[in-house]
Amino acid sequence: MKVTIATLGELLVEFLAKKENQGFSAPGEFWGPYPSGAPAIFADQVAKLGFNSLLFSCVGSDAFGEMNIARLARDGVNVRGISVLPKATTGSAFVSYRTQAQRDFIFNMPNSACGLLSADHLDETLLGQCQHFHIMGSSLFSFRLIDAVRKAIGVVKANGGTVSFDPNIRKEMLNIPEMSQAFEYILDYTDFFLPSDGELDYFGLSQTRDESKIVASLFTRGIKHVVVKRGPRGASYYSEDEQYHVPGYPVDVVDPTGAGDCFGATFVSLFLAGYSVPDALVRANASGSLAISSRGPMEGTSTLAEIEAFMARQERS
Ligand code: ATP
Ligand code: MG
């Protein structure tokens, strides 16, 4: 039986500033609307790999919402968990890059349709079919969403399933107090923890900057797999008795948003499907590289055939 992987949270449209350093304080040109939202990108990547993918979210009854649902359905995501709220507007985000690694956002999320997602929107029959639940830290921006996450963890864990957590910290959201409390709760139920190297410091209990020590402290609280994402420098996998490291592929950066989401979706899906850790890690690394090669946050999701063709091309050159 194929695993079913569920996630929940923001489903947005994104507008991308055309120029580096364009910012948001003067009129300028933007590309978009693009389908976006970290959990949505994750769900799209899971579906493209051929696994059962379920996204719980809310959109408004508007063209942005229709575009998002149509796009996810086209790629094979089960969209029955997406509610269309007649009185709300689909969420949006504006992004402007300062450099390839630094970007600023303006989010319209808490007041949008996806900000209204609550535990009541999670159909228990649908959730009951899931063997795995993935959490994006960026989705924990309201008490309603945190409540929904608690419910999903409860149902999936009670059925013997597993949980993955990508903190996906956005500096624009760090002042939300519910968020940091929820991080602590979620870590206690996490099987797969997928931070980026910069985020690991946040979880280092401010005691050490030594990666192996931070990782060791995570194992003591029950986490079984830690995968650290390092942007152009690749990624590392740690369990209590194994570690693997892969260097980044040398690729041109077009739009890095979404790389971590594609990486996480590919690693978790392939691991749960029985791939060895090194095989899942190298494919996740390739999936992240492919994500940054397309403009638009969800435009760089790829099939397993595309990932393996990319790996073969890289090996030849
Ligand atoms: P985001 O939250 O923006 O989606 P992230 O910070 O969670 O990203 P990154 O480390 O930026 O995650 O990217 C995830 C993976 O994608 C990396 O581990 C790597 O495999 C690949 N990747 C990202 N950026 C690059 C790059 N510039 N060159 C090559 N590979 C990259
Ligand atoms: Mg991320």
Q: Parse the chain into domains and list their residue ranges.
A: 4-316
pLDDT score of 107 more than 90:
yes
274 Ramachandran zone, left/alpha/beta (phi>0; psi -120 to 50)? left
Lowest mean per-residue pLDDT among 93-102, 116-125, 195-204:
195-204
- Ligand 1 atom nearest 261 alpha carbon: 4
> What is the average pLDDT across 197-221?
82
Q: Indicate the pLDDT class of residue 266, thresholds 50, 70 and 90.
A: very high
Alpha-carbon gap, residue 140 to 19, rounded angstroms: 30
Lowest mean per-residue pLDDT among 98-102, 115-119, 133-137, 280-284:
98-102
Ligand number, closest to the Cα atom of 291: 1
DSSP 68: H
pLDDT score of 178 more than 90:
no
Instruction: Judge if the beta carbon of residue 228 lies within 6 A of ligand 1.
Output: no
pLDDT score of 226 more than 80:
yes
> What is the average pLDDT across 191-201?
93
Q: Indicate the pLDDT class of residue 1, thresholds 50, 70 and 90.
A: low
pLDDT score of 245 more than 80:
yes
pLDDT score of 289 more than 80:
yes
What is the residue-averaged pLDDT of the chain?
Answer: 95
Q: For the chain, what percent of residues have pLDDT higher than 70?
A: 98
pLDDT for 231: 96
Strands annotated E in the chain: 4-8, 12-17, 30-36, 52-60, 82-85, 91-97, 103-108, 132-136, 162-166, 192-193, 225-229, 235-238, 243-246
pLDDT score of 172 more than 80:
no
Phi, psi (degrees; rounded to nearest 5) at 105: -125, 150
Please name the fold of domain 4-316: UDP-N-acetylmuramoyl-L-alanine:D-glutamate ligase (3.40.1190)
Q: Indicate the pLDDT class of residue 273, thresholds 50, 70 and 90.
A: very high
Q: Are 147 and 75 in contact (CB under 8 A)?
A: no
Instruction: Judge if the beta carbon of residue 285 lies within 6 A of ligand 1.
Output: yes
Q: Give residues with Cβ within 8 angstroms of 174, minimum separation 6.
A: 180
Instruction: Judge if the beta carbon of residue 249 lies within 6 A of ligand 1.
Output: yes
Instruction: Judge if the beta carbon of residue 167 lies within 6 A of ligand 1.
Output: no
In sequence order, the β-bridge partners of residue 6 are 54, 133
pLDDT score of 205 more than 70:
no
pLDDT for 285: 98
pLDDT for 207: 63
Using the mean position of ligand 1's atoms as its centre, give its distance from the Cα of residue 294 in Å: 13
> What is the average pLDDT across 40-52?
98
Higher pLDDT, 283 or 141: 283
User: Which runs of consecutive H residues, i.e. helices, occur in 162-243?
Assistant: 177-187, 197-200, 211-220
Instruction: Judge if the beta carbon of residue 248 lies within 6 A of ligand 1.
Output: yes
Ion ligand 2: residues, CB < 5 A: 168, 260
Q: Indicate the pLDDT class of residue 208, thresholds 50, 70 and 90.
A: low
pLDDT score of 92 more than 80:
yes
pLDDT for 317: 86
Q: Indicate the pLDDT class of residue 210, thresholds 50, 70 and 90.
A: confident
